[in-house]
Amino acid sequence: MATRIQRTHTGAGWGLFLASVLLATPAGAQENFYKGKQINLVVGYGTGGGYDVYARLVGKHISRFIPGNPTVVVQNMPGAGSLRAVNHIYNVAPKDGTAFAMFSSSMPVRSILGGNKSVQFDSLRMTWLGSSSSFAGDAYLLVVRTDAPSSTIDQVRSADGQLLVVGSSGPGSSSYDIPAVLRDTIGLRYKMVSGYPGSSDLFLAMERNEIQARMVNLTGLKAVRADWLKPSSPYRILVQFGRKTRVEDLPGVPTARELALNPSARDLINLVEIPFELSRPFAAPPHVPADRAKILQAAFRDAHRDPQFLAEAKNLDLDISPIGPDEVLAALKSVEKADPKHLGYLQKLYAGAKD
């Protein structure tokens, strides 16, 4: 399937950072700092999944846009749905511009909600680089085996049907939390099996029939299991989440909003979907020196405009619809304006995240 490389979010948000970069310390000074250095790019998931694919693509290209062309090394740090990686980048990683991370899009919301001692970071104080995707051409999918006893919307909603066995990496991950949201908003009846280290393990578990269903991004599915999307595939997509409308590639698959049991359920879906606007987020620790922060932000922006980067992303069927740091922060701040009842629901849901 052809990938749509979206550029609908590259205007005002990035323009502000272009202006600020022009005022930054001259590139020569930063070249002296970065030359011969290594930058660690921490990924909150194991190898082989969608997050890992995006991180390795960014890691491969971003060095060309950093003065001094430092080496960028990708370091996988799975755990608690990427909470381990966020806590690490915020509290442990060096704050000198030689480390940044990619993690679950739901993680930044947790610090805004509060109430979870395992969340040891403040997402509004992180040094945001942006997000590779704003979900313009992506969707978060509930995929089931067609031989599962419950494999249609009506069956998974029916009180007489068998519970759908869903796999996930564990509490705190989108693969764990979104099925719970679907339970409470569209009537999904399921049993969770968690503890899989990463996306590749979940794919294998589906193929071995250890689990009957999983959540996965459309872009991740295209990148590593494109055959699952074929009409003859033994897998079926039941729901697409994170979207106001159906993605063009899946016109016959309903969105969660369409299946919402009532208006309040639809409002809750709207809130939970906000993090998908920054579905592939990248951030450095707080307190990175301002000149180096601007260098990293500009490099992230320029990499996502680069023909080599875009060509490789197209070959990987990735959704490239980047947003900048200001847009990330605007999306996060909009969470604070949501219905307190729904914020309470999210707080309770996310309280299950473990170290």
What confidence score (pLDDT) does residue 2 get? 39
Instruction: Tell me what pLDDT residue 354 has.
Output: 46
Alpha carbons 199 and 215: distance in angstroms, whole number: 9
CB 143, CB 228: distance < 8 Å: yes
Using an 8 Å Cβ cutoff, are 205 and 196 in contact?
Answer: yes
Q: In what order do the strands lie in the sheet with 213-217?
A: 190-193, 164-167, 213-217, 140-145, 235-241
- Tokens (6 digits) for 182: 């679907």
* Residue-by-residue pLDDT tens, the chain, 355 positions: 334 445 444 445 555 555 555 444 455 666 689 999 999 999 999 998 889 999 999 999 999 999 999 999 999 999 988 999 999 999 999 999 999 999 998 899 988 988 888 899 999 999 999 999 999 989 999 999 999 999 999 999 999 989 999 999 888 788 999 999 999 999 999 999 999 988 899 999 999 999 999 999 998 899 889 999 999 999 999 999 999 999 999 999 999 999 999 999 999 999 999 989 998 999 999 999 999 999 999 999 999 999 999 999 999 888 899 999 999 999 999 998 899 999 999 888 877 654 3
Residue 131: phi, psi to the nearest 5? -135, 135
Return the pLDDT at 7. 44
CATH of domain 12-136+277-350: 3.40.190.150
DSSP character at residue 227? G
DSSP SS3 for 220: helix
Q: How many CB atoms lie within 10 A of CB 122?
A: 12
Query: Measured in Å, how far apart are the chain's first and last C-alpha atoms?
Result: 38
pLDDT (0 to 100) of residue 29:
66
Q: Select from 71, 72, 49 the least CA-distant residue to 59.
A: 72
User: Which CATH code for domain 140-272?
Assistant: 3.40.190.10
pLDDT at 227: 96
Domain definitions of the chain by residue range? 12-136+277-350, 140-272
User: Distance between CA atoms of 126 and 237, rounded to whole angstroms?
Assistant: 35
Q: Decide if 12-136+277-350 and 140-272 have a common fold.
A: yes
pTM over 0.85: no
Q: Do the strands 213-217 and 190-193 form a parallel or antiparallel pair, or are they unpaired?
A: unpaired
Query: What is the model's pLDDT at position 27?
Result: 55
